[in-house]
Chain A
């Protein structure tokens, strides 16, 4: 069997990011917020300060580790919200058709017409900065691709023999959608979800960079970048390490999504069986 490099590398990078976030209290050298010490301000990377220190003498290594918590929480939770919304709307639209389908289609087109980051910005402006607002803003604005996909799958699955058989056996609409349609479209939905997580991590960084994300001093990769932007020439390590963390996490999620698409693709699946 061919080694699926993208799946292995992507999965490892994503797993690493999660581990880092979970184990941050044990892996970190110092407290990410409290241990400021102006004596150590703006130290470059060294054996003592692996990733260097910032203007207040806080250890960048420890802050990057803790920053994984915010980035991944936002990435995972907001994408889950998007997936649930997208599947619920798209699946029911494709299954029922009629005016509900028209309505969902119109809503999806509207969402696609507005860049989701702009939309999220607007929501953040209303809700104010903070983790909860981030989750809501990013969770409500990025479901249109999932919705389209779920709708198209439901449309084509609806005419399958087993869906009609379920109707004949007395299954209700909800039961048909949950037991017959959903499991059969899950593969591509998971792929889109994984890729969506990557873009949510990026969006978190963008919003935090703009000062709309998690409030300083608690670190997120985006807010660290934001704070580092004045010292990008004098202390490049301040932006380099959080940037690298974002890059590797998003790369991992994209590779993972590609790898999952390869194994979940119905064509490649039938080739295996």
Chain B
């Protein structure tokens, strides 16, 4: 077997730096995705038809086209349309955040629908305004129920983040390719990148389990 890891040793710091770079835009995307996803979910459950239609169209578009296409559109189309250059980092969090929002909105919508209707009625009967009811009563219960699904979405996002390498963003994946080209060996750096991704997902999974256990106080 022709495997030689000794050649990538000098590149290890370079590749490890990619963890930070990947984490930075993945966490920014998660935050954006979660906030916009929550707002979209609220639009989907309102009685206002316009908001519902807008949220549904949004979801349909972002789920119905390849993420890599959305990424490249943000990266290439924005400068062409606006005349402003867009950083790979900005286009990456835009594409990933907005894409993730579509999936998160569906998860949260389902979570809200699954909360007992009696909770809404109890809050209404007490005179609690809609916003407080959502923030203090419905969403905490919904999110507790959908935590595993949300965690899954975050893990998917972390793994799929590797496609930002196509716009030259220096994430783990892109760094593995650069090292591969440098030393004329692709297999070892890719394998090394694979281990890093797996470890990141592993940590995220464990983190999710801890949060879930914490939230189980009232069961």
Q: Do chains A and B interact in one complex?
A: no
